[in-house]
Amino acid sequence: MEIQKGGCLCGALRYQVSAQPVRVSFCHCRFCQRATGGPYIVEPIFNSDDVTLTSGRAKTYDQRSEGSGKIIQLHFCETCGTRLFYTFERFPGLTGVLAGSFDDPNWFSYDAETAKHIFLDDARDDTVVPAGLPTFQQHATTRDGTPCEATVFDMPHAIRPR
């Protein structure tokens, strides 16, 4: 695989990944909405050993997840504020990269086997979820790690006003 690179807005932090993501999460929770300022996050998730910060030093912020009760650590540039990574107490050894921080945010692919939309209960009313991908009203697993049952829509599905 060709190494993929990314970084922050000001260029102080640069990173690279040396493998395909193990999965891709589209997270609609309020935490991700607030942390990114967007309606949801596109988060390819990698084995932490496959993600290397090549220049600069990221600042971190710890946030306790309302869902799991575990710490999510945000890694960001203290100069420009760009968020680059999440690491997880709940999922040690994994790093989520904010897809928009890649130099080419379209380099990775995903399908029904590797991707999921989570926390649809928190999704904006105008969100359209594509057909064929597993979706979950909350997380894909319970606090104890038990998998939740997915809903897969046959057609694009619009989140309706509540």
Instruction: Give, for all 162 residues of the chain, the pLDDT tens digit.
Output: 799 999 999 999 999 999 999 999 999 999 999 988 999 999 999 999 999 999 999 999 999 987 778 899 999 999 999 999 999 999 999 999 999 999 999 999 999 999 999 999 999 998 999 999 999 999 998 888 899 999 999 999 999 877
Q: Cα–Cα distance between 31 and 23 in angstroms, integer?
A: 20
Annotation: CATH topology of 4-158: 2.170.150
CB 58 within 8 A of CB 79: no
The dihedral over CA atoms of 118, 114, 19, 82, expressed in degrees to the nearest 10, equals: -20
Predicted pLDDT of residue 69: 84
Residue 34 pairs in a beta bridge with none
CB 59 within 8 A of CB 77: yes
Predicted pLDDT of residue 162: 72
Token pair for residue 73? 């650590």
pTM tops 0.75 = yes
CB 135 within 8 A of CB 127: no
Listed in sequence order, the residues at least 6 apart from 82 whose beta carbon sits closer than 8 Å to its beta carbon are 7, 8, 9, 10, 13, 76, 101
